[in-house]
Structure formats: C-alpha cells, structure tokens
Structure 1
Amino acid sequence: MWKQESAERSLSLVVPLSISEWEGEDVKSTWSGGAAKISHQLKVGTMAAFQLLFLLLVSCAPSSAYPPGHLSQCQIVQKDVLCSDQSLRSAPVNLPPDVQMLDLSRNQVQNLTRETLGFHTGFHRLNLHSNKIHFIQPRLFENMTDLRVLDLSRNHLNVFAHSKTNIGSLKAVESLDLSSNGLYTGMSDYFLTDSPSLANLSLNSNSITKISHNMFRGSLSLKKISLHNNVILEIEDGAFDSLHHLTELDLSKNSITCINDFDLYNLKLFNLSKNSLETFQSDSSDILFKLLSLDLSENKMLYFPDLPEKNELEYLNVSRNQLQTTNVTRNQEKQSILKLCCLKYLDMSYNQLKGIPESFFFSTPLLEVLNVSNNCIHSFSVSHMTPLNKVRVINLSYNSLQSLTFGENTLRSLKKLFLQGNKLTVLDHQIFQRLPSIRHLHLEQNNLQICPSEPKLKDHNHQVPTDCVSFSSVHNLHFLYLSENHLRTLPGNAFVDTPLKLLDLSLNPGLNLHKDSLSGLENSLVHLLLRENNISSLNTDLSSLKCLKHVDLSTNQLNSLLMWNKESSIESLNLQNNNLVTLDHHTILALERHLKTLYMGSNPLSCCDNLSIFRLVHQSAVVVPDIATATCFHEKNSEPVNIKKVTPEMCHRPDVSNYVVGVVVTLLVAMILLGLLIKCCRLRKRKHNRSFNA
C-alpha cells in the first residue's frame, strides 16, 4: 500500500494558486528534466521528435492539472478558503499559512493524503462533502491538533472501509459527518476507534442494520448521534450505556420494531419516527429521566407508550400510529400509572381514537397544545374538574364530533380551537362565550346556524335556542371561519361586541345577508370572505366598515356592486367569476384612493362602460393579477377584448356626435333669430323716419 502511495506521489501534479506560477524558468527546468528522463528511458528518436514530445507534454499537462473551475476561482475570506464546485482533485498549494477552514465540497477529490491537503496541519474545519473519496491515508489527521469539524459526507468511504484499516486518531475532532457513504454494519468502527473529543456524529443515509454494543467504545464523549435513514433492525443491549453525555439520539426512518426497557436516563431528545414500532416500554426504575422530547410518529403502535414514571417530558408525538385507546396496555388499571406532569405538547393526530376520557387529562396539568385531529372521536367534553387551565391550542378537526361541551372556567387560556371537518349541528348556543381568551375559531365544514344577537332569554315565552350558535359578545375572538356550513341566513347584529378581524363565510350557497349582518364590525373587520355563495346582490353596505382592506366576492352571481358614497379603505378586491357588466363610477371613485389589487377576470364586462377602472389599470395604479382572463365586450369586436387593450378612442359614443350636431343647430337658430331681430329693427327705423318727414 505504501509503495502504491509513493508511486501516486511521484505522478501527482501540484495545482498552483494562479496561472502565473506556471511561467518562468521553474517550469522549463521541471519539464526539461522530465523530458530528459523520458528520453533516457525511450533511448530512441531524434532531437526533433524529442522536442515535439516535450511540447505535447507541456500542452497537455495544464489541462490535467487544472480541471474546470481551478483555483483561480477560490475565495479567501480572512482565514477561510472556499473552493467548492471547482472540479478540483486536491487542495490548492500556497494556501495561506494560517488557514483555518478549507471548503473543498462538491469537487472531484478521490484520495485524501498529505499531498491532497497541502501538508497543512492547522485546519480547524474541513469540508469535503460530495466528492469521490474512497481512500484516506492512515493517521492523516493525527497531527491536526486543532481540527474540530470534519465533514466527509456524500463520498465513497465504504470502499475504504472494505480494507479494514483505521483512519487513525481524531483527537480534537468534535463534529464528524459520515452520512451518505454506503457504510454497512461495522464499517463506522474504522472511523470512531480513537475520537475521544467527538460530541456530534452523523451517520445518516447509510446501510447500517445493527447497532452493536461496542460501536461507540472509542467515542465516549458523544452528545448527539444521528442515524436517520438507515436499515436498523437491532440494537444490542448496552449499545449506549457507556455514553454518559449523550443527550440527543435520532433513530428515525429505520426498521426498529420495539423498544423494551428504555433506560437512557440522561437523554433529552429521542426521535424514533418512521420505524415499525409496535411497543415502547420504559425501565421501571425510580430514577428520574431527563427526556424532554420523544417523537414516536409514523409507527404501528396500538397503545399509548409506556413512559417512565418519573419524567420531565414536555413534547410527545404519537401521531400517525394505530392508537385506538389512550391506555398503555390492554390492562385498564395500567392507565392510572401514566404521569405527564411536565407535558406541554401532545400530538395524537391521525390515529383511530374514538374518544379521550377526561381522566386522561388529570395527568397533564401543564398541557398547552393538544392535537387529536383526524381520528374517530364522537364527543369531547371538558368539565370544571379537568385541569386544562394552561392549554392554548386544541385541534379536534376532521373527527366525527357530534357533541362538544365546555364547562364554566375550564379553558381560560385557550386561544385557538380547530373544529373543522366534523358533523357539528347542535351546540350550546353560548358555548364560545365560555372561552374568555379565544382568538381563532375554525368551524369550517360543519352544519351550524348563527343565532341573532341578544336572545330574549328572560322572556318565558322564548326558550333558549337549540338550533343555532351565538357569536356575539365573544370579546377576544379575532378570526372566525364558517365556510361550508350550509348557512341559510346571516342575521342582523350577529357579531355585536365581537371584534372580528377576519370573517370567512365562503361556500355557503344561498346565504342570505341581512342589511345589518355586519353591524358591530365597523371598527375591527379587515378580511371578509364571501366567495362561492351564489350571491346575486350585496344587501350590506361595506363602506361602513372603516378598517376593511381585503374582500373576496369571487364566484358568485353579482351583476352589480352596492354603490359606495364615501371613501373606502379596501386594498384588495376579488370580483372574479361573477356577472358584472358595469362597475359603478361612484364606487370606483370611492375605491380609487386605496385600492391596490383587483381580481376581475371571468366577468362579462362592457369595454366602454368601465373606462374609469380601465384607466387605473393602464396607469398601473391597480394591479390585476388575473389580467389574462380579464376581458370585456365591445360592439365592434366579435371576440372579447383584454382590458389592457381598451383605449378611449375605441369608445366614441353616438351621443357625443349628437351633442355636436345639437350645438351647431342651436348656433344656426341663434343666427337666424339674430338676423330677424336686426331686420325688424331696420323696418321700425324706416317707419319712424317716414312719420318724421310728414
């Protein structure tokens, strides 16, 4: 092997930092010596042939020594040399003597030797990812006592590992990336046998099938290990026991089927997502586990994980499993052992849960985010006994909810509630008034109706409404989504004392808007969505909404807009796919000052009746994103005309010529009358003169 190395060394060409270094006597002497050696070996040919061979060698040498993107394109930033994407086969010579970082990523390096790295030993960081490295000179990094970060990812180190040769000591290396190298089980040992300072190790995207008990015996300082996207089937007992500093372990996207007696007490982050886990069981020790985050998503678990009794867990993800219950085993009594006193985030979405007993939440007093979307839950109840005072977000979307109950003073911190995609029809009409902090409320794709404000509950002749939900006096609600609810009517004053900023009433075909439907939102509403409601006319005066900036009226049956008599603050207006022929001139004047974006495609607009809005488009005062489909009809064109092509000259109306004719006729009549008047005056003067002569 060493003979092969020396041979490679004699044939290797040193790549200079600049072309200028190829000039001068050094080049001539170097190549003349080489030529003399060749001449001596061949012992044939004439002097002319020798000179021709010499010239050919000189002309070919630079092309082999300088692959595309050579070192003249490297960048030097302080003590960092950046040479990525230069098709280099080695590091440049004449590197700055105090260079600390060398980036040779995405090049053509195949062998790592002292010559390859220019005999520099003062590197702090070496980035060699995405090359073709398949050989590393043993003990190459031994003298690099300052080397902290070494990136060898995306190479061919499996070829080197087949030689069963250790690369030698990595005494100072703290971060090592060996991902995407085709490494099999046991091959990583040749890189880890003597790396006492190693804290961060990445072995992602290799072909490792087993973690042996001695795999990390030479790297006892490890804090973070990532083995994502391998083929791990087995973890030998005690594989991580000697790693007392280990705090992060990523085993995601492997083929692990079970975790029994989990006992990594010091571990803080554990990722086991995208495996084939059926069970997760912890050691029954009384020792406190420091685990903060556990990701068990995308596995095959039927039961809730059996977590350490003493734990500090804050984040737990068991989404996309096959959970049918919150019990940890078939044994119902085991449920009482569950303790999650520090848990803040719990994701159980995309499972097969049919319900969550209130007793489950007795173990989660600090819970802030609960996601149980995409399950089969029929009812959800929170009574005054349930300690969910800290919860800020509850996601119950896409279940089969038919019953929803919140007791008084139960969810005082709840800010976001997701209920879309359920079967809610009947709710306590004031259920949302019991949520004093609620800001976001998603009720899309249900079957709810809206109550008028202030029902006369004190009147014994009026019973409490059972077929509608009240949205008045929800004092902190800012975002309300009610699309796809089969809403029939929006009563007057429906949102009084509710400071909505966004109201989505889209996809409720046949929705009837009362003229006072939006009363109470004059000083708060910013976004109004009314798309796809088959609305033929707006009964509501939007000009009274002082803060309204974004309005979506697309895909309706509008043939006119309610005339605005005062200035509007609307910045974005979507009128796509309606039956609009003319946009009222006064409305355009009211919109003109603040309007920035207008969607108006797929309308039967008249070219000559909308010149005021077309003028704004021509002046680029208003952007029309759907300009390609924004057309109008002109009596002289059989095909629709794009609004950008409309000019005032196209619209010389007949009434203009009639006006000119009228003026001419009036002038002629005036002239005739003036002539008659003058004639009459002359006749009188003659008569007067005759009478005087007599």
Structure 2
Amino acid sequence: MYIIITIWIILVYPYTTVHAQCNITLNTLEDKEADCKHQGFTSVPTNLPPDLKILDLSYNRLTRLGDNSFHRYKYLEQLILDNNIMNFLDAKAFTGLSLLRRLSMVKNQLNVFTSYPPGVFESLQNLSALDVSRNMKTPEYNPYRIPVGELCNLCELSIDLVLNATFGQQFRKLHNLRKLRFDYCHVDILYNETFSDMPVNINEFHMTTCKHFVVIEVGVLVPFPHLKVLNLTNSNIHLTQALRIVQPFQNKSMDAILFRGITHGNIKHDLDAVVLTQDMMKYISTICITTLDFSDNQIISVKNNSIVSFKHPQCFEHIMVSSNSFSLETWAVNLFLFVFRMTNIKMFDFSYFPLRFKNPVFLDIVTKNNHTTIERLEYKGRLEIQDITVTVPNQMQFVRIAHVMGRNGFREIKVINSSLRQLEVSYFETDVFPIITLEGFNSLELLDLSGISSDITIGAGKIPLLIHLKTLIMKETKLYLVLQTNSSILSLCPNIKNLDISYHYIWKKNLIGQLPHLTTLNLSYNLFDDVPDVVKKFDNLTDLDLSHNQLTTIRKNIQNWIDTQHTKFRTVKLYLSNNPLIRSCDTTTFLRWILTTKVKFNENVNYSCWVSSIKKSTIPEI
C-alpha cells in the first residue's frame, strides 16, 4: 500500500492573460507575445492584441496562409509557424509585416518548387532570418522556385537541400546573406557547380544531418571564398572527403571547422575507418583555425604525427578530438605537448577513447601428459610513467580528459599563473595519478575526479590546496577509503560551494569536515538510512540531494534545520526520490511536514511511502 504525495509547480508571469485560447505574456524586454501552440487552429486567429511583437502558432492545423492573414499584427517582429501542415502560401500572405525580422516555418509541407508564389515575401523588407527547413520529406528532384530575391536584408537562411539541387539566379540577389544552413539533406552527390548561384558573401555554411552517403567533388566550396565557419556535423560525408574540400581555404583564417560524427563505413565507395596521414592533412594544416572538432570520426590511427602538423598552432582556441579509437602509445605524448604549447588555447577535450583494457585476462591452451586444459593468464602490462611534465598554457580555461581506457603516461601537470577554470580528469584506468602542481595565481573553479579511486588522487597528496575552487565532483571514487582515516581531507578545498560525492557506499553520518561555504551537496546513490547530522554544520546549504539512499524518515531536528534554512534563504531544495520512506504512526510527523513545508522537493516526482506492518485502523489520517 502506498500514499502518493504530489508536488505541484506553479509558474507566475509578471503579465499573463488568456485570449482566444492563447497565452499573452510580457517577456523580459517588455515585449508582448502570444503563445498559441497546440490549439487546433485551422486559420490565423483575428482577435489577438494588435500590438504583439511575437506570435507562436506552432503545432496547429494550418494548411494554407491566405492573403492578409496577419494584417492586424503589423508590429510583429517574430512569427513562428512550425509543425503545421501548410502546403501553400498566398502571394499576399505576409502583407503588412514590414517590421518582421524572424520567420520560422519548420516542419510543414512547403515545397521549394510549388508552394511559394512570386511576391510572397515582398512585404518582408526587414526580414533578417528565414527558416523553412524540414519541409521536403522525400528525395525527389525539385528546382528552387522560392522567391528569396525579394528579401533584400536577409542575413540567415535555413532550407532543405534537395536532390540534384539547382538554386537559380534569385539567390544571387541575397547580398546580405551571411549564414546558410541546410537541413533534411537529400543529396547523394555534390558537384563543383552545386552552389554556384549562391552569393559570395556567405561566411557560415552548415550542412547537417545528411543521412545518406554524400559524394563530394573537391571544388564544391569554391563559391564561398569568404567562409569562416564550415559545419558538417552528423552528415554522412566521411572525414577523408571533408579534408579534401577545404582546399580553397589554404593559408586562410577560419573561425570554426566542425567535422564531428561525419565518418560512417561505406563499402560501396571503399571508405571505412580513418587512418590520418600527412597527405590527408595537407590542406587543413595550412589554415589558421580558431575552433576544430574532429570528434567521433572512427580515427583508428595517426601516421607521422599528422594530427599535430598544423602550421599555425597559435590560432587554436578550442580543440575537440573525443570519441575516436586511435592508440595513444605512439604519438599521444606529442599531441599533448603540441596542444599545451599553443599560446591561445582555451579549451581542450580528449575523452571517450576505448583503447584497451587495463589488465586483460587471456586464455592459453596447455597440453600435459596428453591432457589438454585451458588456463586463464592475467596479463600485467608494464606501466611506463614517462618523466614528462605538462605545463598548462596560461590562456587555457577548460580541459577535459575523461573516459579514456588507457593509462596515464605523465608524471606531473603543472599550472603556472593560469586562467584554467575547469579541469576534468575522470573515468580512466590508471595506477599512478599525475601530481597537480599550482604555481603563482590560479583560477581553477571546477575539478572533476570522478571514476578514479580517491586513494591515488586526493588521498595520495596529488591534489594541492585549491583556494578558488567552487565545485568538486567525485562520483564513484571510493571516497570511503580516504574518509575512514581522514574525515577532513576536503579541507584542501576550503571555499567550495558545490560538492558531489554520489555513487559510493557511504553510510557513516559524520563523513566530511567543515565546509563553511557549501551551498549544494549531492549524496545520492549512497547507503544513508538517516540524514547525516554533519549537514547542519553547513550554514549556507540550500540544495541537498539524498535520492537513492535508504531513508525511511527524516528526524524532527533535521526537519527544523531545513525549515530554518528556508526561512534564511527563501529557497531550499531537497531531493528524496527512491528512498523507502515509511508511512506509519512513527513517521506521522515527517509525513505532515513533507506536506506543509515550503521547501521545494523534486519537481514532477511522486513520493511513495511504504506502510509498515500494522493494522490499517491504527494509521492516523493526515
């Protein structure tokens, strides 16, 4: 038997009314907006306030926009018509919307050949962003007859890329177009002439979610000589091709080259996993790149240090090479040394590498006296810690080295007068953790050591005093190995505000020492059968997560302390889900408190309380 306690969350807006089935609100800029989603409208409502700045008619049943559909709303600056079933726009559908700046018609049935009559956009002289993506559902040939040439101030265009695309002269009139984004990519081949009708001033090119393999000719990007951002994320292009099409940008500068998740095996074109070579990198290595993303590309090997062959390392600010499969032994040290020599690098992500298991067990067939047996041989690989100290560049702000199935090969990570704010070294197999040395000023605010045993990190003296640290994350670190001998070990971080020590087997109540500035404490996924008294020492604590423990109730003195914290700070959050809370005569006070306290519990979570084995008639009603 259960008692269900439901917490209702009520959102209050500074100005809210309901008009014609739409919610009318004032946003933070004091602009009036109408939320008309999910109302079943088959036409544009005509009785909304005429001074609307934003109108959202998404998720309705609009099939066609007739003439003068929005003549009442001449002050509109943003119009959202996503997720309807529109298949045609009348020529004067947008008459009167001379102030409109953003128009979105995503996920409709608007055909680039038949749905847009000439003149449909003539009134939209101030439109800067048009999104008509995810309308072309089938890979059929359709020439572009959409009259975009009428949009003289358009800066951003999001549209589908149809099979054998031919755009037309009207696109050349978009002299202010800077950002071009293709979604629902139906092409299977891109020719050198495909984008020849596009204006030359485009500096951002996004072609994402091409699900079918796309064959690309080398000169496909020649029409974009001023390109600064090239984004092919999650398109099926293959890194081998992508590295060829950057040929027009040799010895130029680019803000971002984003090649994440573009490599998929293709037997037909003899393209499989990637082995990086100097020849493959010959074009991209000459480009001055600010942000480079090579993540998730099935790179299995790097030849001749080709990934560190860039001619302009000083240009890099962000590098992401996560979720590949190349070996570390032969060149990884050179990669780290190369990255940490970059004078302007701010973020480096080297994570999710399934390289090899730490101590594999092999099977060996042994024959003795004509009797064959199978023996299990545990291989203890030789751990070679190289006497290498990696110095973090002064400008580096974020480093993540996580989920690496390999071994540490460095003796020391040195931070000297650094701007480093976040350091994540988590979830990788290592017997020896590098010493972290801080010299001079440091700005480290977040440290994540999750997944690595505490006795070789913080317990082994590898972590220095971190005065400025605000957040410490130590999930699944066997912290109990250290706390049982030194409960004040976290005094190394005296000013932390956020502490996460979830996913342990901690059950002792007096588990950590004084942390006077702590505001958030995550103790979830442990073995507490009672709220530890130590929490009452944290005078600034306002967020306590005790979900997934063994709590059956909360003692009265803890209830009083939580209410006191709420009175002091006006907002306290307590997370208790997935605890075996008991409803009985012994816990009536707790159940009454959980119903009446002003403390915020888990949003949208029901608390189920077990009834102890007593007669139902003895259970008091609350």
Query: Counterpart of 2:470 in structure 1: which amino acid?
Result: K
SS state at 2:230 partner: strand
Return closer, same or farther for 1:108/1:548 CA change in 2, 3 Å cut-off.
Answer: closer
Please point out which of 491, 512, 536 is paired with 1:520.
491
**Residue deviations 1:42-90 (CA, integer Å, cap 9, x gap):** xxxxxxxxxxxxxxxxxxxxxxxxxxx9999999x9xx99998796879
Paired residue secondary structure (2:282): helix
| Aligned mates of 1:419, 1:611 — CA distance in 2 | 49
Give the alignment partner of residue 281 of structure 1, picking from 215, 218, 228: 218
Per-residue deviation, 1:485: 2.8
Cα distance, 1:333–1:425 mapped onto 2, change above 3 Å:
closer
Q: Whose radius of gyration is greater, 1 or 2?
A: 1
Structure-2 change in CA distance of 1:482 and 1:296 (3 Å)? same
Range moving further from structure 2, 417-426 or 595-604: 595-604
Q: Tell me the distance in 1 between the aligned counterparts of 2:398 and 2:41.
A: 53
Cα distance change on mapping 1:401 and 1:363 into 2, 3 Å: farther
Paired position in structure 2 for 1:460: none
- Counterpart in 2 of 1:503? 472
Alignment deviations for residues 313-332 of structure 1 (CA, whole Å, 9 cap, x no partner): 2122211111899x999984
Aligned partner of residue 319 in structure 2, secondary structure = strand
More helix by percentage: 1
SS in 2 for 1:382: helix
Q: Does residue 352 of structure 1 match 2:352?
A: no
Deviations 1:523-570 (A, max 9, x none): 31222223332224256443x221123333333344677755984323
Cα distance between partner residues in 2 of 1:108 and 1:438? 51
1:281 corresponds to which letter in structure 2? V
Give the C-alpha shift of residue 289 in structure 1. 2.4
- Of residues 319, 336, 341, the one that matches 2:260 is 319
**Cα distance change, pair 426–219 in 1 and its aligned pair in 2 (3 A):** same
Q: Which residue of 1 aligns with 2:282?
A: 336
Assess, with a 3 A threshold, how the Cα gap between structure 1 residues 430 and 615 changes in structure 2: closer, same or farther: farther
Q: How far 1:630 moved relative to its partner?
A: 5.5
Give distance in 2, aligned partners of 1:472 and 1:347. 29
Gap regions ≥5 residues in structure 1: 1-68, 151-173, 450-466, 647-694
SS of the residue 1:187 aligns to? coil
Query: Cα distance 1:277–1:104, how it changes in 2: closer, same or farther (>3 A)?
Result: closer
Q: 1:628 pairs with 587, 592, 607, which one? A: 607
Task: Determine if contact 1:493/1:518 at 8 Å carries over to the other structure.
Answer: no
Tell me the distance in 2 between the aligned counterparts of 1:591 and 1:82: 40
Q: Normalising by structure 1, what TM-score?
A: 0.58
> Match of 2:268?
none
Q: Which runs of 5+ in 2 are unaligned?
A: 1-17, 27-31, 266-270, 357-383, 567-571
Distance in 2 between the 1:563 and 1:638 partners?
33
**Are 1:563 and 1:586, in contact at CA under 8 Å, matched by a contact in 2?**
no
1:416 to 398, 421, 425: 398
Deviations 1:615-642 (A, max 9, x none): 8657626556588346686xx8379999
- Give the one of 439, 444, 454 matched to 2:421: 439
Matching of residue 272 in structure 1 with residue 207 in structure 2? yes
Structure 1 position 375 matched with structure 2 position 324? yes
Contact in 2 for aligned 1:291/1:312 (Cα 8 Å): no
The size of the alignment, in residue pairs, is: 520
How far is 1:291 from its partner?
1.5
Cα displacement (A) at 1:602: 3.1
Cα 1:483–1:359, aligned 2, differ >3 Å: closer, same or farther? closer
Comparing both chains, which one has the higher relative contact order based on Cα–Cα distances under 8 Å and sequence gaps of 6 or more? 2
Q: Which of the residues 483, 487, 498 maps onto 2:450?
A: 483
Alignment partner of 1:568 is 2:538:
yes
Counterpart for residue 184 of structure 2:
253
Query: Are the counterparts in 2 of residues 297 and 317 from structure 1 also a CA contact under 8 Å?
Result: yes
SS in structure 2 at match of 1:373: coil
Question: Does the C-alpha gap of structure 1 residues 236 and 620 become closer, same or farther in structure 2, counting only changes over 3 Å?
Answer: closer
The CA distance in 2 between the partners of 1:442 and 1:352, in whole Å, is 23
CA contact (8 A) 1:148 1:175 kept: no
CA 1:282–1:583 in 2, change beyond 3 Å: closer, same or farther? Answer: same
Q: Pairwise mapping of residues 195-206 of structure 1 onto structure 2 (< 5 A)?
A: 203-206=132-135
Picking from 579, 583, 593, the partner of 1:602 is 579
Q: Which residue of 1 aligns with 2:352?
A: 398
Corresponding position of 2:435: 470
Q: 1:232 to 1:491 in 2, by over 3 A?
A: same
Contact kept, 8 Å, 1:321 with 1:351, in 2: the verdict is yes
Give distance in 1, aligned partners of 2:511 and 2:444: 22
Supply the distance in 2 between the matched residues of 1:83 and 1:504 (Cα, whole angstroms). Answer: 39
Q: Does 1:533 align with 2:515?
A: no
Q: Distance in 2 between matches of 1:539 and 1:101?
A: 56
For residue 336 of structure 1, report the CA deviation from its aligned partner: 3.2
Letter in 2 for 1:277: V
What is the CA–CA distance in structure 2 between the aligned matches of 1:541 and 1:230, rounded to whole Å?
58
Q: How far apart in 2 are the matches of 1:508 and 1:329?
A: 35
RMSD: 5.8
Cα distance in 2 for partners of 1:359, 1:283 equals: 26
**Aligned partner (choices 315, 320, 324) of residue 366 of structure 1:** 315
Give, in whole Å, the separation in 2 of the partners of 1:504 and 1:483: 6
